[in-house]
Structure 1
Amino acid sequence: MEPHKTLIKRLAEAATSDSDRGERATPAKVAKFLSQEANIIQCLFGENTSKRMHQVRQLPAWFTLLGKSSYPYAEEDFMRIWKGLLHTIRMSEKPQDREELVEQAAQMVDSFGGNTTLSLAYFSAFMRTTSEEHSGVKLKRLDKWVLMLVRRMLRHVLRVFKRTKWSAELIGAFNKSMQKSVFSEKPKSHGLIVHYLSIFFEELAKEANGDITAAQVSTFLLPFVKYMATQKDGQLLNQCRAKVLYYLLYQSDLGRKSLKKKIISPDPLVGKVDWKLSVLPVNPDYVLDELNNLLSTSKFNPRRRKSLCNLIQLYETYKSAN
């Protein structure tokens, strides 16, 4: 079924019942909404640069109205918007304009009036659309603005989590949505995923700024641990091991003491920033329980089993040293 036909069907269903927010999706409102969306996408793909830039500036207001409405706008619908946004950013010739658009697009994560379901859908649609548009592209071949956009998007969605006091339910929904892109068994863009793996816990440390518990960190971490058992691509496994599982130990108080170095946080178009990140609390028991459970319930080839056992040994050593 075509995207707009799918949307029309969902909106028609919504029109037959009252919204939880007290607004009915009447046929007239459905038609108006679809017309607005079509105009937005047409403008984002248009040839007029100033009109594209203007449309991006107008999007937050439209998203705010969307957050208050009864329209069942889904992740797949946001992907249409994201195709237009990525096109607009790509077509910007001046680096300054491009960076401004990147930041504007990232800030829109929180343009839905506190509707976290739409915030997650917007972020997940971004990851899926960007993965598709950069399918097969390696990290070194990704444009700097793409790397910057991923980091900024992640930064803003983590701020949404922080305002909910790291809601376990919200993080669970986020982890599930990432199965369609980052944690997919058949990844489309290696470069994008490598970048995401390398920056996720850096950005979490920045946004948490010490205001997060080991249990909450583990809610984010466990999908990465499972990834070590399910992903078949060796490069992505190595990246997850080094930039996630090892990184969390290196950035701990014990790890920093033994390494005697600062944690450097780079940002595309800005360069390396000498920024001492706050420590993310790590409870090794969460990782050890998950790894031992995976080893006892799943079959692995000798090489994968040895790799997981090495991680167990590392986290047991860390546990005993604390």
Structure 2
Amino acid sequence: MASVLEPEVFLAQRLASNEKYIRNRAMKKLRKYISVRSLNASGGFTEEDLLKLWKGLFYCLWMQDKPLLQEELSNQICSLIHNFPDIDKQLMYLDSFLQTMKREWTGIDRLRMDKFYQLVRFMIRQTFELLKRNNWESNVMDKFVKLLTSDLLQSDSKPPSGLQLHILDLYLTELAAVGAAELSADQNLMFIEPFCKTAAKTKSRMLFSAICRNILGTIIDQAPFAVEDLMKEMKVLDSDSGQESEEEGEEVEDECEENKTRSKIACKKPAGKQINGRKQSEDDDDEDDMFHSDDSDSELPHDDMGPILQFDYSAVADKLLALARRSSTPGHNRQKLYKIIIVLRDLSEG
């Protein structure tokens, strides 16, 4: 007698079918199956179950051609996270996704890479939407950052560098798109804390440079626009209360200009600086600039920047300083972090 396939294996096989109509039907069945299985008195899905399903979902996207259909499918796959009944199962779905991507990443050919880049972006976006639906509760955010750290930032988890770099590149952009209007500076600090800790201890210069450029550098580059947004909010509040004046408007404008100037000055380095008795090389110059974007990026109009996260620059500097002072921090990392701290201090002083 033929053995009966587990539901997860059966669905995974259908999701990976060569026939599009079979894959489409499997996606519809999977959505219903998640809702029904989650109500099971035995406790719903296990991590092993979700890994089986994700293998099928991975190859479901692998088989899909045409960019618009790929985008639609990626949205459907990532939105499944909201079909699970509680935050623990929802984060287990995210964890299984990251485990699957780590396992399969190096086997993705260059012709298919773009659609998996898109899948990763949509999954991070839906995860932030999940946190938003939970009102950005601190315990839920804490579970998320711990999962992110264990899956992507710890060396023993062996994440592919391409996956790490892609998530670093999109992380703040997607967080801002979902939560910029609601998140406080303290909450934003919590979201970047795993990267600060990793920057202080990693021995990978590639990962360290990516964190400085895509996380810390983005915060620094967007500082003038963040201050401008904050001033605009204050201006609206003053207007509503009848306390706004032309002089206050001029002060806001002057302060924004001063912040831009201070940020640019703080980011500049003295040429020909001596380090350990030798003249600084061009490679060192490149490392000093690792946390800055290109000049062309910094000249973008405010409207093109998109939503911007608010940060307490003094608190970020304090966090980095406490981490950089540890004896376990590599000397190269400490030296670069101190330079970033100086820039953040200048920004906090306005």
Fold shared, TM-score > 0.5 on shorter chain: yes
Instruction: Give the structure 2 partner of residue 42 of structure 1.
Output: 13
Shift of 1:219: 1.2
What TM-score comes out, normalization by structure 2 length?
0.72
Mapping for residues 58-207 of structure 1, pairs under 5 Å:
58-70=29-41, 71-113=43-85, 115-135=86-106, 143-186=113-156, 187-207=158-178
> Secondary structure in 1 aligned to 2:152?
coil
Mapping for residues 221-232 of structure 1, pairs under 5 Å:
221-232=192-203
Shift of 1:255: 7.2
Instruction: Give the structure 1 partner of residue 245 of structure 2.
Output: none
In 2, the alpha carbon distance for the partners of 1:109 and 1:44 equals 17
> Secondary structure in 2 aligned to 1:99?
helix
The alignment-based identity, stated in percent, is 23
> Secondary structure in 1 aligned to 2:153?
coil
In 1, the alpha carbon distance for the partners of 2:328 and 2:124 equals 34
> Secondary structure in 1 aligned to 2:342?
helix
Partner deviation per Cα, 1:53-109 (whole Å, 9 max, x = no partner)? 211122222222233334252444322211111111101233333222111101112
Unpaired runs of 5+ residues, structure 1, are: 1-31, 264-273
Computing the radius of gyration from Cα coordinates, the structure with the larger value is 2
Shift of 1:304: 1.9
In 2, the alpha carbon distance for the partners of 1:80 and 1:192 equals 21
In 2, the alpha carbon distance for the partners of 1:241 and 1:136 equals 28
In 2, the alpha carbon distance for the partners of 1:311 and 1:153 equals 30
- Give every structure 1 segment of 4 or more consecutive aligned residues whose post-TM-superposition deviation is greater than 4 Å: 254-257
Unpaired runs of 5+ residues, structure 2, are: 229-255, 261-297
Match of 1:215 among 186, 195, 202: 186
Instruction: Give the structure 1 partner of residue 210 of structure 2.
Output: 239
Q: CA RMSD in A?
A: 2.6
Instruction: Give the structure 2 partner of residue 303 of structure 1.
Output: 332
Shift of 1:141: 7.8
Instruction: Give the structure 2 partner of residue 9 of structure 1.
Output: none
Partner deviation per Cα, 1:95-124 (whole Å, 9 max, x = no partner)? 3332221111011121114x1111111112
Q: Confirm or deny: 8 A CA contact 2:226 2:309 kept in the other structure.
A: no
Q: Confirm or deny: 8 A CA contact 1:161 1:171 kept in the other structure.
A: yes
The alignment of Structure 1 onto Structure 2 pairs a total of residues equal to 278
